[in-house]
Amino acid sequence: MKTVEKSYVTELYSHPYLLSNLSVPQLVEKILARKEGKLSATGAVQAETGAYTGRSPKDKFIVKDEISENYVDWGTVNRSIDEATFNKLYQKVVQYLKNKSEIFQFRGYAGADHDYRLPLQVINEYAWHNLFARQLFITPKEKELKEHQPEFTVLSAPTFKANPKVDGTNSEAFILVSFKQRIVLIGGTEYAGEIKKSIFSVMNYLLPQRNVLSMHCSANVGKEGDVALFFGLSGTGKTTLSADPYRRLIGDDEHGWGPNGVFNIEGGCYAKCINLSQEKEPQIYDAIRFGAVLENVVLDNQTRIPDYNDTILTENTRAAYPLENIDNIAVPSIAGHPSTIIFLTADASGTLPPISKLTKEQAMYHFLSGYTSKLAGTERGVTEPQATFSACFGSPFLPLAPSKYAAMLGEKIDAYQSNVFLVNTGWTGGAYGTGKRMKLSYTRAMIHAALEGELHGVETTKDKIFGLEIPMHVPGVPDEVLIPENTWLDKAAYEQTAKQLAVKFHENFKQFTEAREDIANAGPIYKG
Ligand SMILES: Nc1ncnc2c1ncn2[C@@H]1O[C@H](COP(=O)(O)OP(=O)(O)O)[C@@H](O)[C@H]1O
Ligand SMILES: C=C(OP(=O)(O)O)C(=O)O
Ligand SMILES: [Mn+2]
* Catalytic residue of the set 167, 244, 252, 253: 253
Which atom belonging to ligand 2 lies closest to the Cα atom of 396? 9
pLDDT tens for 401-449 read 999 999 999 999 999 999 999 999 999 999 999 999 999 999 999 999 9
Active site residue 223: no
Among 240, 242, 382, 388, residue to substitute to test ligand 1 (most atoms within 8 Å of Cβ): 240
Active site residue 395: no
Active site residue 253: yes
256 neighbors 265 (Cβ within 8 angstroms): yes
Which domains are assigned to the chain? 7-35+59-211 (3.40.449.10), 268-325 (2.170.8.10), 337-520 (3.90.228.20)
The sign of the torsion formed by the CA atoms of 124, 130, 134, 135 equals: negative
* Catalytic residue of the set 64, 134, 238, 247: 238
* Catalytic residue of the set 30, 42, 53, 55: 55
Q: How far apart are CA 37 and CA 293, in angstroms?
A: 9
Write the secondary structure of 102-168 as one string of H (helix), E (strand) and C (coil): CEEEEEEEECCCCCCCEEEEEEECCHHHHHHHHHHCECCCHHHHHHCCCCEEEEEECCCCCCHHHHC
| Residues whose CB falls within 8 Å of the CB of residue 249, separated by 6 or more in sequence, listed in order | 218, 219, 220, 242, 243, 283, 323, 326, 328, 329, 330
Question: Which residue has a Cα nearest atom 8 of ligand 1?
Answer: 440
Q: Is 317 in the pocket of ligand 1 (CB under 6 A)?
A: no
Q: Is 236 in the pocket of ligand 1 (CB under 6 A)?
A: yes
Q: Is 240 in the pocket of ligand 1 (CB under 6 A)?
A: yes
| Residue 6 pLDDT grade (very low, low, confident, very high; cuts 50, 70, 90) | low
pLDDT of residue 384: 81
pLDDT tens for 191-239 read 999 999 999 999 999 999 999 999 999 999 999 999 999 999 999 999 9
Q: How far apart are CA 68 and CA 300, in angstroms?
A: 48
Mean pLDDT of 246-252: 98
Q: Is 523 in the pocket of ligand 1 (CB under 6 A)?
A: no
Q: How far apart are CA 498 and CA 356, in angstroms?
A: 16
Q: What is the DSSP string of 470-517?
A: EES-BTTB-HHHHSHHHH-S-HHHHHHHHHHHHHHHHHHHTT-TTS-H
Active site residue 197: yes
Closest CA to 337 of 264, 417, 406: 417
264 neighbors 218 (Cβ within 8 angstroms): no
Residue 134 has pLDDT above 80, yes or no: yes
Q: What is the DSSP string of 217-237?
A: EEEEE-TTS-EEEEE-STTSS
More confident residue, 386 or 447: 447
Residue 378 has pLDDT above 60, yes or no: yes
How many CB atoms are located within 10 Å of the residue 451 CB? 22
Distance of CA 232 to the CA centre of its chain: 8
